[in-house]
Amino acid sequence: MFGIVRQKISAGGSPLLAFGQRIRPAVSAWRGYSSAAKEITVREALNTALDEEMSADPKVFLMGEEVGEYQGAYKISKGLLDKYGPERVLDTPITEAGFTGIGVGAAYHGLKPVIEFMTFNFSMQISYAKIIFVWDFRWVLLKLLLVALQFWLLMQAIDHIINSAAKSNYMSSGQISVPIVFRGPNGAAAGVGAQHSHCYASWYASCPGLKVLAPYSSEDARGLLKAAIRDPDPVVFLENELLYGEAFPVSAEVLDSSFCVPIGKAKIEREGKDVTITAFSKMVGYALKAAEILAKEGISAEVINLRSIRPLDRDTINASVRKTNRLVTVEEGFPQHGVGAEICASVVEESFGYLDAPVERIAGADVPMPYAANLERLAVPQVEDIVRAAKRACYRSVPMAAAA
């Protein structure tokens, strides 16, 4: 990677600069739906998007733990090391704060890093030294010094994302662009406990200067990742581990190398007239299943795939609510200060007079994620939770307050 930086900041005859002049469209013409031609998995969609963007622009490079020799912890980077070499697919030590800072510095110099976290929980990484157990008193002082040194050296990866990447453009009066993508799995997987199951959508979406994307389908993953890599600003790209292996139908248009999904535009996955359901990432699939169940009971639900958490497509959300007069928000994260809370505030501010029922919010339980499988299921929203909320909004069931 340092070889790439040296090329970038050296004399103007650099091949990096010569090839980097290629101009590509920021986004392709957007369509709400794509006619299905074949099926590809989310993993394949992300892999091909990375491959095509690295092929089109030599300034794009990938960096993270096990992205090279191991071909990615989730095989997203499969084949990229063989094709582009170790200067553009860089394996790093287990120090998220270190390679996140290196990536931001490279972006300052005009490169386009894609930083992969094994999980976004590791974007909060401080130091593994904090778990050292001291049994021998003679080593207490040395152990404490090691802890202090590692805390000072590593700090947090989120410091580079928030204080360096997100704020530099504003603090430099627009003179510094930071074209960097932070990507990896976000939210709950299965049986990985509280420290590996956190949803960071609302955390990062609260920070000006960042763009935050959360794909659901293969079309989302492919189109949004391309848009993120081409964007001049830092983008947090929140994937879902449980979606990597899911296959979705895509059209020939989606498979075209110029395809791109515009940042800040939601997608209406299913049209309806009785209640609006907003969701992102894995919860979109749950919302669609809930809509099928509701349809059998005479309730027509409109399902909105947010795609973009920041900027949020408030226009599409409010237009839908003004049509259906009811709203259910769905997310995996904690309820307090969540994405659903922001959507509710937007609807109350812009479409309050159109509401015929109180807004319903479905979110994860307000507790750290349990490890036990039965408790984990109770802590994450399920299809039946969405169905009950939609029925309450449509006055088809006893309200929660009355039942209590």
At 283 the pLDDT is 97
8 A C-beta contact, residue 261 and residue 208: no
**Class of residue 152 by CB neighbours under 10 A (exposed 0-12, middle 13-18, buried 19+):** exposed
Active-site hit among 96, 269, 332, 360: 96
Say yes or no to pLDDT of 77 above 80: yes
Say yes or no to pLDDT of 152 above 70: no
Count other Cβ atoms within 10 Å, centred on residue 42.
26
Strand partners, 116: 64, 183
Mention every residue, 6+ apart, whose C-beta is less than 8 A from residue 225: 45, 46, 49, 50, 53, 181, 183, 215, 237
11-25, 135-149, 284-298: which is most confident: 284-298
Q: What is the pTM (predicted TM-score) of this model?
A: 0.83
Torsion angle of C-alpha atoms 54, 4, 114, 223, degrees rounded to 10:
-20
8 A C-beta contact, residue 63 and residue 103: yes
Confidence of residue 63 (pLDDT cuts 50, 70, 90): very high
Give the mean model confidence (pLDDT) for residues 185-191. 83
Least trusted range by pLDDT, from 18-32, 182-196, 231-245, 358-372 = 18-32
Active-site hit among 53, 116, 196, 219: 196
State yes or no: is 96 an active-site residue.
yes
8 A C-beta contact, residue 161 and residue 96: no
Confidence of residue 255 (pLDDT cuts 50, 70, 90): very high
At 142 the pLDDT is 52
**Class of residue 91 by CB neighbours under 10 A (exposed 0-12, middle 13-18, buried 19+):** middle
Give the chain's mean pLDDT.
84
User: What is the SS3 assignment for 211-246?
Assistant: EEECCCCHHHHHHHHHHHHHCCCCEEEEECHHHCCC
Confidence of residue 156 (pLDDT cuts 50, 70, 90): low
pLDDT tens-digit readout, 306-353: 999 999 999 999 999 999 999 999 999 999 999 999 999 999 999 999
State yes or no: is 302 an active-site residue.
no
Confidence of residue 136 (pLDDT cuts 50, 70, 90): very low
Confidence of residue 125 (pLDDT cuts 50, 70, 90): low
Say yes or no to pLDDT of 388 above 80: yes
CA nearest 88: which of 51, 52, 62? 62
At 3 the pLDDT is 46
At 387 the pLDDT is 97
CA 11 to chain centre: 37
User: What is the SS3 assignment for the chain?
Assistant: CHHHHHHHHCCCCCHHHHHCCCCCCCCCCCCCCCCCCEEEEHHHHHHHHHHHHHHHCCCEEEEECCCCCCCCCCCCCCCHHHHHCCCCEEECCCCHHHHHHHHHHHHHCCCEEEEECCCHHHHHCCCHHHHCCCCCHHHHHHHHHHHHHHHHHHCCHHHHHHHHHHCHHHHCCCCCCCCCEEEEECCCCCCCCHHHCCCCHHHHHCCCCCEEECCCCHHHHHHHHHHHHHCCCCEEEEECHHHCCCEEEECHHHHCCCCCCCCCCCEEEECCCCEEEEECCHHHHHHHHHHHHHHHCCCCEEEEECCEEECCCHHHHHHHHHHHCCEEEECCCCCCCCHHHHHHHHHHHHHHHHCCCCCEEECCCCCCCCCCHHHHHHHCCCHHHHHHHHHHHCCCCCCHHHHC
pLDDT tens-digit readout, 85-120: 999 999 998 888 888 899 999 999 999 999 999 876
pLDDT tens-digit readout, 41-57: 999 999 999 999 999 99
CA nearest 38: which of 214, 216, 218? 218
Give the mean model confidence (pLDDT) for residues 276-296. 97
| Spatial distance between the Cα atoms of 50 and 10, rounded to a whole number of angstroms | 26
Say yes or no to pLDDT of 370 above 90: no
pLDDT tens-digit readout, 194-223: 777 788 899 999 999 999 999 999 999 999
Q: What are phi and psi of 182, to 5 degrees?
A: -105, 115
Which tokens hold the place of 73?
């912890």
At 119 the pLDDT is 73
